[in-house]
Every structure is written in structure tokens, then in C-alpha cells.
Amino acid sequence: MGNTIFSKIINREIPADIVYETDSVLAFRDIKPQAPTHILIIPKIEIPSVRELSGKEHSQLLGDMIDAANAVAKKEKIDQDGFRLVLNCGANAGQEVYHLHIHLLGGRKMNWPPG
Ligand code: 5GP
């Protein structure tokens, strides 16, 4: 098992700054942070992107990822000032790692529209 760098992080084959973990999800700091807080929330099972999400089981998993994002935002003390969740899907969105992940960004004012 394990096609991407994130699978290696799940399996502890390569190091990461893990900040939160449950039975279904893992959260760790992005190696190239784009904000004072930049954390990736990933499912422990391999799903390449949003495109492959369907059905109740995946809805539950996505719910777990959002719960994790809220818990981490609170832990990082960015929940009150606000934060941004980003899910890049496919080439035009700039997805680099084909293991589903939510970017949790905070600690500074965000711009809109995104680049
Ligand atoms: P994407 O562009 O696919 O939405 O985002 C992938 C993210 O994964 C990027 O922000 C990138 O910096 C991060 N990343 C890539 N490789 C590693 C790694 O080995 N460790 C960590 N912690 N983050 C990584």
C-alpha cells in the first residue's frame, strides 16, 4: 500500500510534523507553508482527489476531515479570527499530490479571489 508521499507519512516511513490524528484522518504541517498556520488534513485511506468521492462512506469521511480541521483550528488558536479550507482537484487547480487533502490556512488575512 502507498503510492504517494502522504501514504509514506501515514505509514511513518518519512517524517512529518503531525498535529492531530484519529482512526480515519491525519493532520500535519505543510512542508512549504503559505500562511503562519498551514496544515494538511488527509484521510488514512487512499483516495486520489475530490473527483473520486461518492456515496455515504465518503461523506462520512469528508465529515471526519472537517471535524479534524475545526479541532486543529481551535488547537492552533485560529478559529476565532477565521481560516480558509482549500481542496485542490486536478491540474487546473494545481493539485500536486494525488492523495485527497484539505489545506487549513490561517494566522493572516487571506485574499480573495485566490490566484
Ligand atoms: P496540492 O497542491 O496537491 O493541493 O498540495 C500539496 C501540498 O503538499 C503542498 O502544499 C506541498 O507543499 C505539500 N507537500 C508536498 N510534499 C510534502 C511532504 O513531503 N511533506 C509535507 N509535510 N508536505 C508536503
CATH 3.30.428.10 fits 5-106, yes or no: yes
Residue 2 has a pLDDT of 57
Residue 41 has a pLDDT of 98
Output the residue whose Cα is nearest ligand 1's atom 4: 95
Rounded Cα distance between 34 and 80, Å, is 20
Q: State the 10-residue block means of pLDDT for the chain, 115 residues long.
A: 87 98 98 98 98 96 98 98 98 98 98 92
- Please check whether residue 82 is in contact with residue 15, taking contact to mean a CB–CB distance below 8 angstroms: no
Residue 110 has a pLDDT of 96
Output the residue whose Cα is nearest ligand 1's atom 21: 31
Residue 61 has a pLDDT of 98
Q: Which ranges of the chain does DSSP label H, i.e. alpha helix?
A: 5-10, 55-75
The residues, ordered by sequence, that sit 6+ positions from 16 with a Cβ below 8 Å of its Cβ are: 9, 28, 29, 31
Show the ligand 1 pocket: residues with CB < 6 angstroms: 5, 16, 28-32, 40, 88, 94-97
State pTM to two decimals. Answer: 0.97
Question: How far apart are the CA of 28 and the centre of ligand 1, in A?
Answer: 10
